[in-house]
Chain A
Amino acid sequence: MNAELLAALLVLGGALLAGVRSVLGPTFYDRVLAVNVFGTKAVMLLAIIGFIGDRSGFLDIAILYGLINFIATVALLRFVESGRYSS
């Protein structure tokens, strides 16, 4: 097993843990954080896959995620801030 694949699998493992937390997460904030972490892992995974496949286009998608992932998090938090959510 080569190093890149190992790195990808480790990142995927981290993503899996974040995913588990997003289902279990006792409070809403645990879940938001888990989704955010998952997005970061996706950025890393895209960069690694791009390195494995030797494609530069992957970095464009990774940048896109870095920029956009923020919006979903902000929207979720604003939703809760507006007081329309009771768990």
Chain B
Amino acid sequence: MDPVLLLDVLLLILAVLAAVAAMLQRDLLGSVMLMGIYSLLMAVIWANLFAMDVSFTEASVGAGAATVLLLMALTRIGTRERSGGDHSLPALVLVVLTGVVLLYGTSELPRFGDPQAPAQLHIAPRYLAQDIGKVSDSATPQDSPHGEGDFGHHVPNTVTAVLASYRGYDTMFETAVIFSAGMCLLLLLRPIPRRSPETVTIDESGSTSHQKSESVVLRTIGGMLIPYILVFGFYVQMHGEIGPGGGFQAGVLVAAAFILHSLLFGRAATDRWLPRWLVDLAMSLGVLLYAGTGVACMAMGGHFLDYSALDRVHPAEAEALGMTLVEAGVGLTVASVVLTIVRKVQGGTR
């Protein structure tokens, strides 16, 4: 049997088991842990399907940000699930029916890995060969003036090529959506006013990371780990066009490094390293960088986000330069929005 297929089947069974166990668990902290296991399994499954970028995202979001976020939520709502009585029969019927319809729908889908599937035949071969530029011949693989080892205008990671070049507009508005999510949180989650005695105790005892950790071992080891996470985030950011990763993943990684810092040394210390106004600024700066790259292309005589217009700045590397700038914008916005989300959910006070 094909090893990839065999592993896939086993991993999927494990993932379903983990998901069911997370639902049945009455203790919400246990559910959070099982969701962590579920997300680990999903990352391995994505990797097994060679969806490297998806796996990277699942790994950084699932392990780094989501668990912390869920724990922050638990500090507000407590860890016990209210017992029963709120099961609705019509809802169950509806869910089962939807599931049956979805399962029926999958019978129409092409078989797994079918080379004749429409997805493989339409424009995917041209994306993979990268022989279409967005405009004129901007993305044509060609002999590079820098010789071997340079990829010419060809970007080895097709996902990044599609994301940052062919579908540059989509990604720009995705970044804008993330930015608006951050803005909405800033507007919605205002500091809790001290009304009831209950709220006061929450404020005073603080949530998970208001006070710093007392453990010397944890602070030493964690402190050593943070620079490595940051460096790895930078690598993922800059290397996204060659290996898996890119702005989205790098942003979450960098945010995770700062989350770890605030877990170990307290929120006040993190605010000294990374002032809050800087996070707010970076949030909008990222979108500005992305859209600004597009406008710069227009100013140099190309279309919006037509990186070949950047030729005058950096001949022969225009496509790479444009993609790097755009990915940097994505990374900035994602990192600052994730930090803002965690900060807003964890903190009762501003």
Contact = CB atoms under 8 A, between A and B. Distances in A.
Interface of A: 2, 4-5, 8-9, 12, 15-16, 19, 22-23, 28, 31-32, 34-35, 38-39, 42, 45-46, 49-50, 52-53, 55-58, 60-61, 63-65, 67-72, 74-76, 78-87
Interface in B55-73: 55-56, 59-60, 63-64, 67-68, 71
A71 B243 contact: no
Contacts of B55: 61
Contacts of B6: 5
A21 B67 CA distance: 19
A8 B50 CA distance: 17
17 contacts: A2-B3, A22-B30, A22-B37, A32-B33, A49-B4, A50-B47, A53-B50, A58-B47, A63-B232, A64-B236, A65-B43, A70-B222, A72-B64, A76-B32, A78-B263, A84-B205, A86-B79
A39 B21 contact: no
B206 A22 contact: no
Contact of A74 (B3, B47, B260): B260
A23 B21 contact: yes
A22 B34 contact: yes
A87 B33 contact: no
A52 B47 contact: no
B207 A82 contact: yes
B33 A76 contact: yes
Interface in B23-82: 25, 27, 29-30, 32-34, 36-37, 40-41, 43-44, 47-48, 50, 52, 55-56, 59-60, 63-64, 67-68, 71, 74-75, 78-79
A65 B253 CA distance: 11
Nearest to B6: A5
B264 interface: yes
Given A64-B59, A64-B253, A75-B71, A16 B14 contact: yes
A60 B245 contact: yes
Nearest to B75: A84
Given A8-B7, A74-B263, A19 B14 contact: yes
- Size class of the contact patch on chain B: 35 or more
A59 B292 CA distance: 34
A70 to B, nearest CB: 6
Contacts of B14: 12, 15-16, 19
Give the interface SS of chain A, mostly helix, strand, loop or mixed. helix
B331 interface: no
Contacts of A83: 205
B341 interface: no
Interface string B153-192: 0000000000000000000000000000000000000000
